Amino acid sequence: MTKRFPTPKGRLTAGRSLAELTWLRVGGPADWLFQPADVEDLATFLRELDPAVAVFSMGVGSNLIVRDGGLSAVVIRMGRGFNAITVEGNRVTAGAAALDAHVARRAAEAGVDLTFLRTIPGAVGGAVRMNAGCYGSYVADHFVEAQAVTRAGEVVTLDADDLNFRYRQTDLPEGCVITQATFEGVSGDPEELAARMDAQLKKRDETQPTKDRTAGSTFRNPAGFSSTGRADDAHDLKAWKVIDDAGMRGATLGGAQMSPMHSNFLVNTGGATAADLEGLGEEVRKKVFQHSGIELVWEIMRVGKPAPE
């Protein structure tokens, strides 16, 4: 087994539980967890890794259900070597592990408006992969380029065409790991930007279960398939509304619940398994389809295998 694995500078751990690395706090272990020291370490590791071994990148797990049987893959999670943030004019470059909130704050201090990132609880790699967004702005509206390491261990630069941004999705090639991204924002007054971010945080806390174990919006907004991936193209039909109409606000399965506060948020109320959460999500999809004919599409990424029988 170990013969298939290169010896990296960073940390490689066998059988690492992923539950405590995700917001929902569920899921089995990864065969291996790799925390690369820097880009070169990651590139060398992927170059030398048996091409038959699957690779999965994770950020801070704020959009993930890892199934109870875990992930047969090398899970790559970036840390300290990947969280630098630099500002040059109106462009902000951040490592994949930099938290969206830190990027927004650092940009605002420099008079650059990336305030939309402030309330998204993920890191930069996940934000690019998911075309994250809120309050009328998506990553696609601000994206300049990203650095990534391919599964074959090549360091490449990706532009917007490579990623083909769409509503909450991109075309990142299988096994490709984003290591850094550059965004551009318009100029703004630092104090005004800070005040806007405070207001957004307050609004969030009033309307979403931000203190609970969730992964944000469970399903994409049904008509929100903007063709360009930019916010100004998106439609208005909301997932929470069709879930409400189907009578599923507050519905439960085991330890999983559709939040009474925001019906598109799936909550681990304590002892939920990944199977409870996914099962409840599928029940919601079924009820919504029966009620309105709308097929909800998962926004939460679900990965790994179910627990053995």
Ligand X SMILES: Cc1cc2nc3c(=O)[nH]c(=O)nc-3n(C[C@H](O)[C@H](O)[C@H](O)COP(=O)(O)OP(=O)(O)OC[C@H]3O[C@@H](n4cnc5c(N)ncnc54)[C@H](O)[C@@H]3O)c2cc1C
Instruction: Output 146 or 287, the one with its CB closest to ligand X.
Output: 146
Note if 217 is an active site residue.
Answer: yes
- Indicate which single residue of 27, 70, 121, 175 sits in contact with ligand X (rule: CB under 6 A): 121
Please state, in angstroms and as integers, the Cα–Cα distance from residue 263 to each residue in 119, 219, 223, following that order: 19, 10, 17
Q: Are 246 and 288 in contact (CB under 8 A)?
A: yes
DSSP type of residue 122: S
243 is an interface residue for ligand X by CB under 6 A: no
- Indicate which single residue of 28, 36, 61, 224 sits in contact with ligand X (rule: CB under 6 A): 61
215 is an interface residue for ligand X by CB under 6 A: yes
57 is an interface residue for ligand X by CB under 6 A: yes
Least distance to ligand X from the beta carbon of 111, Å?
A: 24
- Indicate which single residue of 67, 105, 129, 285 sits in contact with ligand X (rule: CB under 6 A): 129
Note if 299 is an active site residue.
Answer: yes
Q: How many residues bind ligand X (CB under 6 A)?
A: 31
DSSP type of residue 49: S
Given 129, 166, 168, 249, the catalytic residue: 168
Distance CA 126, CA 236 (A): 24
201 is an interface residue for ligand X by CB under 6 A: no
Q: Across the strands, what pairs with 75? A: 33, 56
Instruction: Output 3 or 211, the one with its CB closest to ligand X.
Output: 211
Least distance to ligand X from the beta carbon of 208, Å?
A: 6
Question: How many residues does this entry show for the chain?
Answer: 309
Given 217, 226, 259, 263, the catalytic residue: 217
Note if 91 is an active site residue.
Answer: no
27 is an interface residue for ligand X by CB under 6 A: no
Per the structure block, which two tokens stand in for 140? 């696609």
**Phi and psi at residue 145, in whole multiples of 5°?**
-165, 165
Q: Which stretch in 39-47, 214-222, 227-235, 266-274 sits in contact with ligand X by CB under 6 A? A: 214-222
Distance CA 177, CA 179 (A): 6
| Among 56, 150, 63, CA closest to 100 | 63
The DSSP code sequence of 8-31 is -SSEEEEEEE-GGGSTT----EEE
Binding site for ligand X (CB under 6 A): 23, 56-64, 96, 120-123, 125-127, 129-130, 132-134, 172, 177-178, 210, 214-216, 301
